[in-house]
Structure 1
Amino acid sequence: MPDWATFAGFAGVVLVLLLLLAHASKSAVSGGTPIRGGVDRPQPGSVDPAVAEVHASLTNRVRATGRGTDPTHATQPQLSTLALLANVAVSQGAFGLLLLAGGWFTEIPPSAFGVTAPVLSASTLGVGVVLGGVLYAANEVGASVGERLGIGADEGLREALAPDSPAGWAVLLFLVLPIIAGFEELLFRGVLIGVFAAGFGVSPWLLAVGSSLAFALGHGAQGPAGVVVTGVLGFVLAAAFVLTGSLFVVVVAHYLVNALEFVVHEGMDVDWG
């Protein structure tokens, strides 16, 4: 028999740990950090708190070694973007495995997370791709408007983490971003909406609002404008989860938004501004 209360407490601990990590990352980057060529970047934006965690690690290493003023140090092995991205995959993957282990131990049915057979169908993939494309376009419009109003998030973080080799792109696109999308959707949509609604009879739309607020708080490193945009995008993902009942729809959409940001802006060097 499912132990909803125990799993809820377990999930709450994971959520608090994630938000504390995001807050620590925000503190680490809030003062501006010289990453490349001695340029002091303002508080950067990020597609995910996990990526902010990478920047915090990079920031701390630069400060500890005092090498931020020489661009050649950015390519040293200890500051390898590939290694930092791999670190994100491990940390976010560990969080995700903890949630899955907690769900297994407390006998939460997969359907409560939005996982039903068939696990991934052509219809869920198609809906996820369309939703991801629309959200990406909306995100670009929002970023452009924010930049024109002088409240846009700085893109230094994404630029610093952009891979500079085929191996780096492979790790980013096929390991790091899928893990980030999978874990965050599992927590913010599958658990905070699906499981809580199934286990406690709370309105999924009320839970969608609460999970979107938590999702936005996890992106504090983006600054106020980034938090607002992320909260809105999070609610759209939450609404899609409620309407479709599919975790994989929102995982696909989330992944696509993140992947397109990197590919378009860093891989193709496109600047809509």
Structure 2
Amino acid sequence: MPNWAAFVGLTGVIVSFVVLLAHLSQRLLDAEPADRRPTVRLQPTGLDPGVAGSRWIRVRPADRSATAEHAVTNPDSPSSMPTLALLANVVLTQGFFGGVLLVGALVFSIPLSAFGVGPEPLSTGVPAVGLGIALGIGLWIGSELAVAVADAAGIGYDQQVRSMLTPTTMGEWVLLLAVVLPIVAASEEFVFRAAAIGVPATGLDASPWALAVVSSLAFGVAHGAQGRAGVVVTGALGLGLASVYIATGSLLVVIVAHYVLNATEFLVHERRSVDSIE
């Protein structure tokens, strides 16, 4: 018999840890001197590993003499860490939180249907993938427009996180697109949509729309490192993904949409780093 309350409690703990970790990461980034951060040029386009925002131009190795001393004296600072190490950290962190909830689902006997996984084509079939791709592109366009409005209003959007995660070698690009972004999309949708909305709505008869608002607020706050605009835009995107999840009842649809959103952002706004590899 499913232990709904126990799993919902575990989900609350995991979401709280995610938000806390994001807050600590934000403080670490804010503690870095402004002149030690990656060189940035603001333009009215862009998004993070999941949200639009201003474009960051990554500093090439030959241009990093100004940050070399900082990297030696403070090797633990985020901007001095190798991209590969940062990508590995993302995989381990996201995999850990998603893995804990997955184990919890097995221990507490939560059925797959409560997460939005079923035999229907729109749940796990090709139609779900196609719909996810279309929605992901639509969300990316919406995020671009939202950030353009934020830029016009003078609301800052911090892209330091995406800048640090941008690959500098072809191997890192393969790792990002084939491993990191799929894990990020699957983990965040499993935590913030399936576990935070689907399970309590199914097992505790809670309002899915009320749950969508709460989970989207937490999702936005968890992206506080991207500035005020990042919190608002990410929260809005989270609400959009939650609405799609509720309407379709499919976890796969929102995972694919989330991945397409993130991958499109990197490919569109960080493509210059690919040229610099050659």
TM over 0.5, shorter chain: yes
1:253 corresponds to which residue?
257
Contact 2:129 2:252 in 1 (8 A): yes
Q: Alignment partner for residue 98 of structure 2, among 96, 99, 107?
A: 96
2:164 corresponds to which residue?
160
Distance 2:136 2:161 in 1: 22
Within a 5 Å distance, the mapping from 1:8-157 to structure 2 comes to 8-33=8-33, 46-47=48-49, 67-68=69-70, 79-117=81-119, 120-157=124-161
Distance 2:105 2:197 in 1: 14
1:60 corresponds to which residue?
none
Cα distance change on mapping 1:21 and 1:130 into 2, 3 Å: same
- Answer yes or no: is 1:234 the counterpart of 2:245: no
Q: How far off is 1:268 after superposition?
A: 4.8
Q: How far off is 1:213 after superposition?
A: 0.9
RMSD of aligned Cα (Å): 2.8
Q: How far off is 1:66 after superposition?
A: 7.8
2:54 corresponds to which residue?
none
Structure 1 residue matching 2:70: 3-state secondary structure = coil
Q: Structure 2 stretches of 5 or more lacking a match?
A: 52-66, 274-278
What amino acid is aligned across from residue 203 of structure 2 in structure 1?
A: G
Q: How far off is 1:149 after superposition?
A: 2.3
Contact 1:216 1:234 in 2 (8 A): yes
Q: Which has the higher contact order (CA 8 A, sep 6+)?
A: 2
2:198 corresponds to which residue?
194
What amino acid is aligned across from residue 174 of structure 2 in structure 1?
A: A
Q: How far off is 1:32 after superposition?
A: 4.6
Structure 2 residue matching 1:212: 3-state secondary structure = helix
Q: How far off is 1:155 after superposition?
A: 2.7
2:247 corresponds to which residue?
243
Cα distance change on mapping 1:35 and 1:107 into 2, 3 Å: farther
User: What whole-Å deviation, never above 9, does each CA across 1:153-191 have from its counterpart, x for those lacking one?
Assistant: 133332232101111001111111111110110011001
2:61 corresponds to which residue?
none
Cα distance change on mapping 1:40 and 1:232 into 2, 3 Å: closer
Contact 1:34 1:68 in 2 (8 A): no
User: What whole-Å deviation, never above 9, does each CA across 1:248-271 have from its counterpart, x for those lacking one?
Assistant: 1000011111111111000257xx
Q: How far off is 1:107 after superposition?
A: 0.2
Give the share of equivalent positions with the same residue, in percent: 46
User: What whole-Å deviation, never above 9, does each CA across 1:123-151 have from its counterpart, x for those lacking one?
Assistant: 10111011100000111111122222221
Q: How far off is 1:41 after superposition?
A: 10
User: What whole-Å deviation, never above 9, does each CA across 1:193-249 have from its counterpart, x for those lacking one?
Assistant: 100101110111111111111111111111221111111111110000000000010
Q: Alignment partner for residue 170 of structure 1, among 168, 174, 182?
A: 174
Cα distance change on mapping 1:35 and 1:175 into 2, 3 Å: farther
TM-score (norm 1): 0.82
Contact 2:49 2:266 in 1 (8 A): no
2:269 corresponds to which residue?
265
Distance 1:7 1:160 in 2: 35
Structure 1 residue matching 2:69: 3-state secondary structure = coil
User: What whole-Å deviation, never above 9, does each CA across 1:89-122 have from its counterpart, x for those lacking one?
Assistant: 1121111111110000000000000111256311
Distance 2:193 2:231 in 1: 18
Distance 2:132 2:50 in 1: 19
Distance 1:258 1:250 in 2: 12
